[in-house]
Amino acid sequence: MNGIEIPWKKFNEEEIQTIISILYHSLDYNIKELHKSDRANEDGADLVVSNENEEIAIAVKIKPNNKDRPQLMELSERNEKKKLYIYIETPTKKFLQDTKHYKNVEFWNVNKLNEFFINNNLYFSANLIFQNTETYINIENIKFLFFKLRYESQNKKKEDFKEFNKKSFSLIWRLKDIYVTLHKTNVLMKDMFDEPMKFKDENYDLYFLNIFLKYLESLNSIVSSFYEIFNIFYKNNMHLVDNSIIEKSDRSHWLYLAAFTPLNQGKNLNIVLKDGINEKKVLDELLSKNRDLSNDKFDNYCQDISKSNDVWQAIKNQTQELASVGWAIEASIDDIIEEYFKDHNILNMIEYDEMEHPFF
Protein backbone atom coordinates (compact mmCIF):
# COMPACT_ATOMS: atom_id res chain seq x y z
CA MET A 1 0.00 0.00 0.00
CA ASN A 2 1.34 3.37 -1.23
CA GLY A 3 4.99 2.60 -0.43
CA ILE A 4 4.74 2.53 3.38
CA GLU A 5 6.78 -0.45 4.56
CA ILE A 6 7.38 -1.78 8.06
CA PRO A 7 10.99 -3.04 8.42
CA TRP A 8 10.03 -6.65 9.21
CA LYS A 9 13.50 -8.02 8.51
CA LYS A 10 14.84 -6.14 11.54
CA PHE A 11 12.84 -8.40 13.88
CA ASN A 12 13.24 -12.01 14.93
CA GLU A 13 10.33 -14.46 15.00
CA GLU A 14 9.39 -13.87 18.62
CA GLU A 15 9.42 -10.09 18.14
CA ILE A 16 7.19 -10.40 15.06
CA GLN A 17 4.79 -12.57 17.06
CA THR A 18 4.63 -9.87 19.74
CA ILE A 19 4.07 -7.12 17.16
CA ILE A 20 1.22 -9.12 15.62
CA SER A 21 -0.22 -9.61 19.13
CA ILE A 22 -0.11 -5.85 19.76
CA LEU A 23 -1.91 -5.18 16.47
CA TYR A 24 -4.67 -7.70 17.17
CA HIS A 25 -5.00 -6.43 20.73
CA SER A 26 -5.54 -2.92 19.35
CA LEU A 27 -8.42 -4.43 17.34
CA ASP A 28 -9.95 -5.74 20.59
CA TYR A 29 -8.93 -9.37 20.21
CA ASN A 30 -7.90 -11.56 23.15
CA ILE A 31 -4.38 -12.92 22.84
CA LYS A 32 -2.90 -16.31 23.69
CA GLU A 33 0.86 -16.42 23.17
CA LEU A 34 1.34 -20.18 22.95
CA HIS A 35 5.02 -19.82 22.04
CA LYS A 36 5.56 -18.34 25.53
CA SER A 37 2.91 -19.89 27.75
CA ASP A 38 2.32 -23.39 26.39
CA ARG A 39 5.09 -24.54 24.07
CA ALA A 40 4.31 -28.21 24.73
CA ASN A 41 0.81 -27.79 23.28
CA GLU A 42 1.35 -25.31 20.48
CA ASP A 43 0.02 -27.75 17.84
CA GLY A 44 1.47 -25.69 15.04
CA ALA A 45 0.38 -22.25 16.29
CA ASP A 46 2.48 -19.56 17.92
CA LEU A 47 -0.54 -17.36 18.64
CA VAL A 48 -4.28 -17.69 18.96
CA VAL A 49 -6.28 -14.47 18.77
CA SER A 50 -10.02 -14.33 19.29
CA ASN A 51 -13.05 -12.10 19.69
CA GLU A 52 -16.80 -12.72 19.75
CA ASN A 53 -16.87 -13.45 16.02
CA GLU A 54 -13.78 -15.50 15.23
CA GLU A 55 -10.76 -17.40 16.50
CA ILE A 56 -7.52 -17.34 14.49
CA ALA A 57 -4.49 -19.62 14.86
CA ILE A 58 -1.26 -18.00 13.66
CA ALA A 59 2.18 -19.43 12.92
CA VAL A 60 5.16 -17.17 12.20
CA LYS A 61 8.44 -18.07 10.47
CA ILE A 62 11.18 -15.87 9.07
CA LYS A 63 12.12 -18.28 6.24
CA PRO A 64 10.29 -21.63 6.22
CA ASN A 65 12.13 -24.74 5.05
CA ASN A 66 11.58 -28.50 5.03
CA LYS A 67 12.06 -28.77 8.80
CA ASP A 68 9.01 -26.53 9.27
CA ARG A 69 6.63 -28.79 7.31
CA PRO A 70 5.46 -30.74 10.42
CA GLN A 71 4.43 -27.46 12.09
CA LEU A 72 2.43 -26.52 8.99
CA MET A 73 0.68 -29.88 9.08
CA GLU A 74 -0.20 -29.43 12.76
CA LEU A 75 -1.50 -25.91 12.08
CA SER A 76 -3.78 -27.20 9.32
CA GLU A 77 -5.28 -29.78 11.71
CA ARG A 78 -6.23 -27.28 14.41
CA ASN A 79 -9.90 -26.60 15.21
CA GLU A 80 -9.87 -22.84 14.52
CA LYS A 81 -11.74 -22.00 11.31
CA LYS A 82 -9.15 -19.42 10.29
CA LYS A 83 -5.45 -20.32 10.21
CA LEU A 84 -2.63 -18.02 9.12
CA TYR A 85 0.92 -18.98 8.22
CA ILE A 86 3.05 -15.83 8.08
CA TYR A 87 6.56 -15.72 6.61
CA ILE A 88 8.96 -12.84 6.02
CA GLU A 89 11.40 -14.28 3.49
CA THR A 90 10.60 -16.52 0.53
CA PRO A 91 10.36 -20.17 1.69
CA THR A 92 12.45 -22.93 0.15
CA LYS A 93 11.16 -24.41 -3.09
CA LYS A 94 10.02 -27.68 -1.52
CA PHE A 95 8.16 -25.89 1.25
CA LEU A 96 6.38 -23.68 -1.28
CA GLN A 97 5.30 -26.72 -3.23
CA ASP A 98 3.98 -28.28 -0.02
CA THR A 99 1.79 -25.25 0.77
CA LYS A 100 -0.47 -26.13 -2.17
CA HIS A 101 -1.78 -29.14 -0.23
CA TYR A 102 -3.14 -27.02 2.65
CA LYS A 103 -6.21 -25.26 1.31
CA ASN A 104 -7.50 -24.43 4.80
CA VAL A 105 -4.45 -22.31 5.66
CA GLU A 106 -3.92 -18.71 4.49
CA PHE A 107 -0.31 -17.94 3.61
CA TRP A 108 0.79 -14.35 4.16
CA ASN A 109 4.07 -13.05 2.81
CA VAL A 110 5.60 -9.79 4.01
CA ASN A 111 3.53 -7.76 1.53
CA LYS A 112 0.25 -9.20 2.80
CA LEU A 113 1.34 -8.72 6.42
CA ASN A 114 2.37 -5.15 5.73
CA GLU A 115 -0.93 -4.38 4.01
CA PHE A 116 -2.89 -5.80 6.94
CA PHE A 117 -1.02 -3.60 9.43
CA ILE A 118 -1.29 -0.41 7.36
CA ASN A 119 -5.01 -0.92 6.72
CA ASN A 120 -5.89 -1.76 10.32
CA ASN A 121 -3.62 0.46 12.44
CA LEU A 122 -1.60 2.99 10.50
CA TYR A 123 -0.76 4.93 13.69
CA PHE A 124 0.94 1.90 15.28
CA SER A 125 2.60 1.00 11.97
CA ALA A 126 4.06 4.50 11.55
CA ASN A 127 5.41 4.46 15.11
CA LEU A 128 6.96 1.06 14.39
CA ILE A 129 8.69 2.45 11.30
CA PHE A 130 10.00 5.59 13.02
CA GLN A 131 11.25 3.78 16.11
CA ASN A 132 13.33 1.32 14.11
CA THR A 133 15.48 3.93 12.43
CA GLU A 134 19.16 4.29 13.32
CA THR A 135 18.33 7.47 15.25
CA TYR A 136 16.32 5.57 17.85
CA ILE A 137 18.82 2.74 18.05
CA ASN A 138 21.65 5.20 18.72
CA ILE A 139 19.66 7.07 21.35
CA GLU A 140 18.84 3.82 23.11
CA ASN A 141 22.53 2.83 23.08
CA ILE A 142 23.25 6.10 24.87
CA LYS A 143 20.48 5.39 27.37
CA PHE A 144 21.97 1.98 28.17
CA LEU A 145 25.42 3.53 28.58
CA PHE A 146 24.10 6.10 31.06
CA PHE A 147 22.26 3.48 33.11
CA LYS A 148 25.32 1.23 33.08
CA LEU A 149 27.33 4.08 34.61
CA ARG A 150 24.53 4.78 37.08
CA TYR A 151 24.44 1.14 38.17
CA GLU A 152 28.21 1.04 38.59
CA SER A 153 28.18 4.28 40.58
CA GLN A 154 26.12 2.61 43.32
CA ASN A 155 29.31 0.95 44.59
CA LYS A 156 31.46 4.04 44.29
CA LYS A 157 32.22 7.07 46.43
CA LYS A 158 32.96 10.55 45.21
CA GLU A 159 36.63 11.14 44.41
CA ASP A 160 38.78 14.10 43.47
CA PHE A 161 38.95 14.81 39.76
CA LYS A 162 41.47 16.63 37.62
CA GLU A 163 40.98 20.00 35.97
CA PHE A 164 39.59 20.13 32.45
CA ASN A 165 42.11 20.34 29.67
CA LYS A 166 41.31 22.16 26.44
CA LYS A 167 40.05 19.01 24.77
CA SER A 168 37.67 18.19 27.62
CA PHE A 169 36.21 21.70 27.53
CA SER A 170 35.55 21.31 23.82
CA LEU A 171 33.97 17.87 24.25
CA ILE A 172 31.60 18.76 27.11
CA TRP A 173 30.14 21.74 25.25
CA ARG A 174 29.81 19.64 22.10
CA LEU A 175 27.87 17.02 24.07
CA LYS A 176 25.55 19.66 25.48
CA ASP A 177 25.00 21.19 22.03
CA ILE A 178 23.91 17.83 20.64
CA TYR A 179 21.17 17.29 23.18
CA VAL A 180 20.05 20.89 23.31
CA THR A 181 19.39 20.34 19.60
CA LEU A 182 17.53 17.07 20.22
CA HIS A 183 15.44 18.65 22.98
CA LYS A 184 14.65 22.11 21.60
CA THR A 185 14.25 21.10 17.96
CA ASN A 186 11.71 18.45 18.86
CA VAL A 187 9.81 20.83 21.13
CA LEU A 188 9.45 23.04 18.05
CA MET A 189 8.44 20.05 15.91
CA LYS A 190 5.88 18.96 18.50
CA ASP A 191 4.29 22.41 18.42
CA MET A 192 4.14 22.24 14.62
CA PHE A 193 2.29 18.90 14.71
CA ASP A 194 0.21 19.66 17.79
CA GLU A 195 -2.94 20.61 15.90
CA PRO A 196 -4.49 17.42 14.40
CA MET A 197 -4.59 17.14 10.61
CA LYS A 198 -8.28 16.42 9.97
CA PHE A 199 -8.13 14.41 6.78
CA LYS A 200 -6.90 11.02 5.64
CA ASP A 201 -5.28 10.42 2.29
CA GLU A 202 -2.85 7.69 1.23
CA ASN A 203 -0.62 10.08 -0.70
CA TYR A 204 -0.34 12.44 2.26
CA ASP A 205 0.30 9.48 4.59
CA LEU A 206 3.38 8.58 2.56
CA TYR A 207 4.39 12.25 2.19
CA PHE A 208 4.26 12.94 5.94
CA LEU A 209 6.05 9.67 6.72
CA ASN A 210 8.92 10.37 4.33
CA ILE A 211 9.31 13.92 5.60
CA PHE A 212 9.74 12.71 9.16
CA LEU A 213 12.08 9.90 8.12
CA LYS A 214 14.31 12.50 6.45
CA TYR A 215 14.13 14.60 9.61
CA LEU A 216 15.19 11.59 11.72
CA GLU A 217 18.04 10.95 9.32
CA SER A 218 19.29 14.50 9.80
CA LEU A 219 19.00 14.10 13.60
CA ASN A 220 21.00 10.91 13.44
CA SER A 221 23.96 12.71 11.92
CA ILE A 222 24.11 14.63 15.23
CA VAL A 223 23.12 11.85 17.64
CA SER A 224 25.41 9.18 16.20
CA SER A 225 28.51 11.10 17.26
CA PHE A 226 27.40 11.45 20.90
CA TYR A 227 28.26 7.90 21.98
CA GLU A 228 31.82 8.14 20.69
CA ILE A 229 32.38 11.66 22.05
CA PHE A 230 30.98 10.81 25.48
CA ASN A 231 33.18 7.72 25.79
CA ILE A 232 36.26 9.80 25.00
CA PHE A 233 35.18 12.40 27.55
CA TYR A 234 34.44 9.76 30.19
CA LYS A 235 37.81 8.08 29.69
CA ASN A 236 39.57 11.36 30.50
CA ASN A 237 37.15 12.55 33.20
CA MET A 238 35.90 9.37 34.83
CA HIS A 239 35.79 10.59 38.42
CA LEU A 240 33.97 13.78 37.47
CA VAL A 241 31.22 11.92 35.58
CA ASP A 242 30.88 9.34 38.37
CA ASN A 243 30.66 12.12 40.96
CA SER A 244 27.87 13.85 39.01
CA ILE A 245 25.85 10.63 38.83
CA ILE A 246 26.37 9.85 42.52
CA GLU A 247 25.30 13.40 43.42
CA LYS A 248 22.23 13.49 41.15
CA SER A 249 21.14 9.84 40.80
CA ASP A 250 17.66 10.61 42.19
CA ARG A 251 16.80 13.45 39.81
CA SER A 252 13.67 13.27 37.67
CA HIS A 253 15.50 13.15 34.35
CA TRP A 254 16.51 9.54 35.05
CA LEU A 255 12.80 8.67 34.99
CA TYR A 256 12.35 10.34 31.61
CA LEU A 257 15.39 8.50 30.32
CA ALA A 258 14.07 5.15 31.60
CA ALA A 259 10.71 5.84 29.94
CA PHE A 260 12.32 5.87 26.49
CA THR A 261 11.33 2.39 25.26
CA PRO A 262 11.03 2.40 21.46
CA LEU A 263 9.39 -0.51 19.65
CA ASN A 264 12.67 -1.95 18.41
CA GLN A 265 13.42 -4.99 20.56
CA GLY A 266 11.65 -7.85 22.32
CA LYS A 267 11.76 -6.43 25.84
CA ASN A 268 10.21 -3.11 24.86
CA LEU A 269 7.58 -4.78 22.66
CA ASN A 270 6.56 -7.08 25.50
CA ILE A 271 6.17 -4.10 27.84
CA VAL A 272 3.79 -2.43 25.38
CA LEU A 273 1.72 -5.61 24.97
CA LYS A 274 1.60 -6.34 28.71
CA ASP A 275 0.59 -2.76 29.56
CA GLY A 276 -2.11 -2.80 26.89
CA ILE A 277 -3.58 -6.07 28.15
CA ASN A 278 -3.58 -4.85 31.77
CA GLU A 279 -5.23 -1.56 30.81
CA LYS A 280 -7.95 -3.41 28.91
CA LYS A 281 -8.64 -5.65 31.92
CA VAL A 282 -9.05 -2.62 34.18
CA LEU A 283 -11.36 -0.91 31.68
CA ASP A 284 -13.45 -4.07 31.19
CA GLU A 285 -13.86 -4.43 34.96
CA LEU A 286 -14.99 -0.82 35.27
CA LEU A 287 -17.48 -1.22 32.45
CA SER A 288 -18.87 -4.44 33.91
CA LYS A 289 -19.56 -2.66 37.21
CA ASN A 290 -20.95 0.49 35.68
CA ARG A 291 -22.62 0.32 32.28
CA ASP A 292 -23.24 4.09 32.36
CA LEU A 293 -19.54 4.88 32.53
CA SER A 294 -19.54 6.42 29.07
CA ASN A 295 -18.59 10.09 29.06
CA ASP A 296 -19.83 12.29 26.22
CA LYS A 297 -16.75 14.52 26.26
CA PHE A 298 -14.43 11.51 26.20
CA ASP A 299 -16.45 9.87 23.41
CA ASN A 300 -16.35 13.08 21.37
CA TYR A 301 -12.60 13.32 21.94
CA CYS A 302 -12.08 9.73 20.70
CA GLN A 303 -14.23 10.40 17.63
CA ASP A 304 -12.28 13.58 16.94
CA ILE A 305 -8.94 11.77 17.18
CA SER A 306 -10.20 9.00 14.89
CA LYS A 307 -10.69 11.59 12.15
CA SER A 308 -7.07 12.76 12.35
CA ASN A 309 -4.34 11.67 9.99
CA ASP A 310 -2.64 8.69 11.69
CA VAL A 311 0.88 9.41 10.43
CA TRP A 312 0.56 13.02 11.58
CA GLN A 313 -0.48 11.80 15.05
CA ALA A 314 2.45 9.36 15.13
CA ILE A 315 4.88 12.17 14.31
CA LYS A 316 3.44 14.26 17.14
CA ASN A 317 3.97 11.33 19.51
CA GLN A 318 7.56 10.80 18.36
CA THR A 319 8.57 14.45 18.68
CA GLN A 320 7.31 14.34 22.28
CA GLU A 321 9.34 11.19 22.97
CA LEU A 322 12.46 12.67 21.41
CA ALA A 323 12.05 15.95 23.27
CA SER A 324 11.76 14.06 26.57
CA VAL A 325 14.85 11.93 26.08
CA GLY A 326 16.77 14.92 24.70
CA TRP A 327 15.91 16.89 27.83
CA ALA A 328 16.89 13.94 30.06
CA ILE A 329 20.34 13.50 28.54
CA GLU A 330 20.89 17.25 28.37
CA ALA A 331 20.14 17.37 32.11
CA SER A 332 22.72 14.61 32.69
CA ILE A 333 25.35 16.67 30.88
CA ASP A 334 24.29 19.69 32.95
CA ASP A 335 24.94 17.60 36.07
CA ILE A 336 28.52 17.02 34.92
CA ILE A 337 29.02 20.70 34.20
CA GLU A 338 27.51 21.67 37.55
CA GLU A 339 29.71 19.15 39.38
CA TYR A 340 32.78 20.70 37.80
CA PHE A 341 31.86 24.36 38.24
CA LYS A 342 29.99 24.13 41.56
CA ASP A 343 32.54 26.30 43.39
CA HIS A 344 32.86 28.84 40.59
CA ASN A 345 30.82 31.89 39.63
CA ILE A 346 30.05 30.33 36.23
CA LEU A 347 27.56 28.08 38.03
CA ASN A 348 25.08 30.97 37.88
CA MET A 349 25.09 30.60 34.10
CA ILE A 350 23.79 27.03 34.21
CA GLU A 351 21.36 27.12 37.12
CA TYR A 352 18.68 24.56 36.47
CA ASP A 353 15.07 24.48 37.59
CA GLU A 354 14.33 20.96 38.86
CA MET A 355 10.64 21.47 38.09
CA GLU A 356 11.22 22.50 34.47
CA HIS A 357 9.05 20.48 32.11
CA PRO A 358 10.89 19.00 29.12
CA PHE A 359 8.45 20.49 26.61
CA PHE A 360 9.03 24.11 27.61
Q: What whole-number distance in Å separates Cα of residue 297 and Cα of residue 274? A: 28
Contact 157/279 with Cβ under 8 angstroms?
A: no
The whole-number pLDDT of residue 337 equals: 92
Q: How many CB atoms sit inside 10 A of residue 25's CB?
A: 18
pLDDT in tens, 142-156: 999 999 999 999 889
Average pLDDT in the 256-263 region?
A: 91
How buried is 328 (Cβ within 10 angstroms: 0-12 exposed, 13-18 middle, 19+ buried)?
Answer: buried
The whole-number pLDDT of residue 39 equals: 60
Q: Which of 126, 134, 146, 178 is nearest to 308 (CA)?
A: 126
The whole-number pLDDT of residue 265 equals: 81
pLDDT in tens, 294-320: 555 545 545 555 567 899 999 999 999
Predicted confidence (pLDDT) at residue 74 exceeds the cutoff of 60: yes
The whole-number pLDDT of residue 14 equals: 93
pTM of this structure: 0.85
Task: Categorize the per-residue pLDDT at 343 as very low, low, confident or very high, splitting at 50, 70 and 90.
Answer: low
Q: How many CB atoms sit inside 10 A of residue 224's CB?
A: 17
Task: Categorize the per-residue pLDDT at 200 as very low, low, confident or very high, splitting at 50, 70 and 90.
Answer: confident
Task: Categorize the per-residue pLDDT at 290 as very low, low, confident or very high, splitting at 50, 70 and 90.
Answer: low
pLDDT in tens, 5-34: 999 999 999 999 999 999 999 999 999 888
The whole-number pLDDT of residue 301 equals: 46
Predicted confidence (pLDDT) at residue 360 exceeds the cutoff of 90: no
Average pLDDT in the 22-50 region?
A: 83
Residue spans in the chain of domains classed CATH 3.40.1350 = 8-120
Structural fold of domain 8-120: Trna Endonuclease; Chain: A, domain 1 (3.40.1350)
Phi and psi angles of residue 60, each rounded to the nearest 5 degrees, phi first? -130, 130
Angle at alpha carbon of residue 66, lines to 65 and 70, rounded to 5°: 110
Predicted confidence (pLDDT) at residue 1 exceeds the cutoff of 80: no
Cα torsion for 329, 333, 335, 340, to the nearest 10°?
170
Predicted confidence (pLDDT) at residue 286 exceeds the cutoff of 50: yes
Predicted confidence (pLDDT) at residue 359 exceeds the cutoff of 60: no
Task: Categorize the per-residue pLDDT at 195 as very low, low, confident or very high, splitting at 50, 70 and 90.
Answer: confident
Predicted confidence (pLDDT) at residue 246 exceeds the cutoff of 50: yes
Angle at alpha carbon of residue 208, lines to 328 and 227, rounded to 5°: 30
